[in-house]
Amino acid sequence: MQLELEGKAFLITGGSAGLGRALARTLVGEGASVALLARGAERLAATAEELREAGGDVLELSGDVTRLEDLERFVELARERFARIDGVVNNAGTLAAGSFAEHDDSVWEADLSLKLMGAVRLTRVALPALRESKGVVLNTLSITGKAPEAYTTPTSVSRAAGLALTKALSRELAPEGIRVNAVLIGVIESAQLEHRASLAGVQPAEYYKRMVSDARIPLGRVGHPHEYGDLAAFLLSPRASYLTGAAINLDGGLCPLA
Ligand SMILES: NC(=O)c1ccc[n+]([C@@H]2O[C@H](COP(=O)([O-])OP(=O)(O)OC[C@H]3O[C@@H](n4cnc5c(N)ncnc54)[C@H](OP(=O)(O)O)[C@@H]3O)[C@@H](O)[C@H]2O)c1
């Protein structure tokens, strides 16, 4: 199947590592241009260079999704460079866990600002360009948005709000030909999980093995970032033209809810 992404341009927040980087690789491989936003300039530059070596037309901006001015600049630069924006991928985020009693207002506000308001801000700023292209919005969420777990209160609430945002916006923008979908992640290999493995003093492979057995992932393994890249690229592509308002679990069967 041809994804028909050649010549299109996509913005990805959190594009320097993990899922965002895997998606950028897939899009570049399909002939699309990508603009990446992340805070850490060094890792971002390395990812952008790797994508250019693969033949990609890449724009990178060091910025933070919690800062509106960074997102305005991101959209402005992308429009100048590519003269179009065909989709935005609201993907930046971090793992978060802990007990409810330990989370003061600042923890809640930070989680909502990063995971919910980051997506709200970028989508709003990019909307004029998406209207011109009849573009696509894709939100990377977590299965905790559908099936909240203990010790995940702020992140589960942020992700549930992300689901509501996806559905409400999909219905509001459908008459304009703009599609809005979400991918809900279970456990996929990532920089954050590898950092946790090193804090626990174990190799990533051993850490993932423990996660599979503790969480009882039905497919018996964690996911690979390229599996997200494949699904996300499809959702961004014209081949998914009748798909909007969907929230698809990418979790090896982990989430108890469809
Ligand atoms: N991997 C999983 O198992 C899993 C599970 C559930 C949900 N998710 C969600 O999937 C998304 C991608 O995660 P990942 O696994 O790919 O994590 P990752 O490998 O740690 O990558 C996270 C990316 O987000 C960027 N980022 C973090 N905070 C940011 C901010 N405030 N502004 C701009 N960029 C920011 C990071 O770069 P900088 O740090 O340099 O800014 C990095 O590029 C996240 O929203 C995560 O919560 C992942």
Q: Assign residue 26 the CATH number of its domain.
A: 3.40.50.720
Q: Which atom of ligand 1 is nearest to the CA of 36?
A: 43
CA dihedral over 43, 229, 9, 63, signed as positive or negative: negative
DSSP annotation of 144: G
What's residue 51's pLDDT? 98
Q: Averaged over 222-242, what is the pLDDT?
A: 98
133 lies in the same domain as 240: yes
Select from 148, 145, 219 the least CA-distant residue to 182. 145
- Rounded to the nearest 10 degrees, the angle between the axes of helix 18-29 and helix 41-53 is 20
198 lies in the same domain as 143: no
Number of domains in the chain: 2
CA distances to 28, 33, 124, 248 from 50, rounded to whole Å, are 11, 14, 30, 29
Residue 1, domain member (yes or no):
no
121 lies in the same domain as 204: no
Straight-line distance from the first to the last Cα atom of the chain, in angstroms, rounded to the nearest whole number: 26
**Distance between Cα 4 and ligand 1 center (Å):** 27
- Hey, is 51 helix, strand or coil? helix
Q: Which atom of ligand 1 is nearest to the CA of 16?
A: 43
Strands (E), the chain: 9-13, 33-38, 58-62, 87-90, 136-142, 179-185, 247-250
Taking CB atoms and a 6 Å cutoff, what residues make up the pocket around ligand 1? 13-14, 16-20, 37-40, 43, 64-66, 91-94, 114, 140, 142, 185, 187-188, 190-192
Q: Which atom of ligand 1 is nearest to the CA of 188?
A: 3
80 lies in the same domain as 164: yes
Give residue 216's domain range: 189-222
Residue 169 has pLDDT above 90, yes or no: yes
**Distance between Cα 139 and ligand 1 center (Å):** 12
**Distance between Cα 229 and ligand 1 center (Å):** 14
63 lies in the same domain as 145: yes
Tell me the whole-structure pTM to 2 decimals. Answer: 0.98
157 lies in the same domain as 53: yes
Amino acid found at 229: G
137 lies in the same domain as 197: no
What's residue 157's pLDDT? 98
209 lies in the same domain as 122: no
241 lies in the same domain as 207: no
158 lies in the same domain as 211: no
Residue 83 has pLDDT above 90, yes or no: yes
Q: Which atom of ligand 1 is nearest to the CA of 20?
A: 16
Select from 228, 225, 183 the least CA-distant residue to 204. 225
Q: Averaged over 138-156, what is the pLDDT?
A: 97
Residue 96 has pLDDT above 90, yes or no: no
100 lies in the same domain as 198: no
196 lies in the same domain as 102: no
Residue 255, domain member (yes or no):
no
**Distance between Cα 175 and ligand 1 center (Å):** 31
The residue whose CB lies within 8 Å of the most ligand 1 atoms, and thus the one to mutate among 74, 91, 166, is 91
Residue 257, domain member (yes or no):
no
Select from 123, 68, 91, 112 the least CA-distant residue to 190. 91
Q: Averaged over 139-151, what is the pLDDT?
A: 97
